[in-house]
Amino acid sequence: MTICLVSCLLLTSTSVFPQITPSSGAVYQEGFSYCEITPFIASRIEGKSYRENPDISLADLRYVRIKYIDFEGNEKDGELIVNRRIARDTVEIFYQLYRHKYPLQEVSLIDDYGASDDRSMEANNTAAFNYRKITGSTSLSRHAYGMAIDINPLINPYVKGKAVLPAGGNVYAQRSAEKCTGKYASFMIQRGDFIYKLFMEHGFTWGGDWRSVKDYQHFEKE
Ligand SMILES: [Zn+2]
């Protein structure tokens, strides 16, 4: 694969920025790229998923553009914000999902849902960066560092005992595709399936492998 050392700025400009490196921005494939957080993107996330903090700066984050196929088979444009350390992983992973027509309901910034994890999950929105605590904890989530991605969260809910988040994902809390009565049962993430292997190949771990809670939507990297 060739990587063009092109930032999102260059996509709309003929200027040359010789200082650009692969970590700051790149076009991976047509429709799959990442770049630094521009002032416009910053204005979309400040006061929502991003706020002044001692843990992560805007310079640590990358804005990622991808394409995906939805459950109706339509091709859509998606956007994510992730840590610069996994920007390349992210475009590679989502390119493979796209090529294999792995369906995603929506891939929008969580800021489109007011940075509300609950609302974004209920909409089955795939998302990554959000400066927030771990659900039910005072520790920062890996999402706060842009190091975690939640996939189709409605059909891959967070399950702790009888608690299921989002509530609308209750039918998908039990993970047998044969027993599940949900419309998208066959697209629940399972250990060893295509998307699981894809994230593992890129060094991620899966929340469905956790013991105390199960976070089936969640892939993260250290
Ligand atoms: Zn998550």
Alpha-carbon distance of 197 to 11, in angstroms, equals 32
Question: Ligand 1 centroid to 137 CA: how many Å?
Answer: 13
Q: Assign residue 190 a region (left: φ > 0; alpha: ψ between -120 and 50; beta: otherwise).
A: beta
Residue 3 pLDDT class (50, 70, 90 cuts):
very low
Residue 202 above 80 pLDDT? Answer: yes
Question: Ligand 1 centroid to 84 CA: how many Å?
Answer: 18
Task: Summarize the confidence of residues 164-179 as an average pLDDT.
Answer: 96
Question: Ligand 1 centroid to 149 CA: how many Å?
Answer: 6
Question: Ligand 1 centroid to 193 CA: how many Å?
Answer: 19
Nearest Cα neighbor of 11 from 2, 20, 206, 164 is: 20
Question: Ligand 1 centroid to 10 CA: how many Å?
Answer: 32
Question: Ligand 1 centroid to 147 CA: how many Å?
Answer: 9
Question: Ligand 1 centroid to 215 CA: how many Å?
Answer: 7
The whole-number pLDDT of residue 7 equals 46
Residue 18 pLDDT class (50, 70, 90 cuts):
very low
The whole-number pLDDT of residue 136 equals 80
Tokens at 217, concatenated: 């939507």
- Relative to beta strand 163-165, strand 158-160 is antiparallel
Question: Ligand 1 centroid to 108 CA: how many Å?
Answer: 15
Residue 8 pLDDT class (50, 70, 90 cuts):
low
Question: Ligand 1 centroid to 217 CA: how many Å?
Answer: 6
Residue 16 pLDDT class (50, 70, 90 cuts):
very low
Q: Which of 18-32, 55-69, 96-110, 133-147 has the lowest mean pLDDT?
A: 18-32
Question: Ligand 1 centroid to 129 CA: how many Å?
Answer: 9
Residue 194 above 60 pLDDT? Answer: yes
Task: Summarize the confidence of residues 73-84 as an average pLDDT.
Answer: 98
Per-chain residues with Cβ under 5 A from ion ligand 1: 148, 150, 218
Residue 113 pLDDT class (50, 70, 90 cuts):
very high
Tokens at 7, concatenated: 């930032």
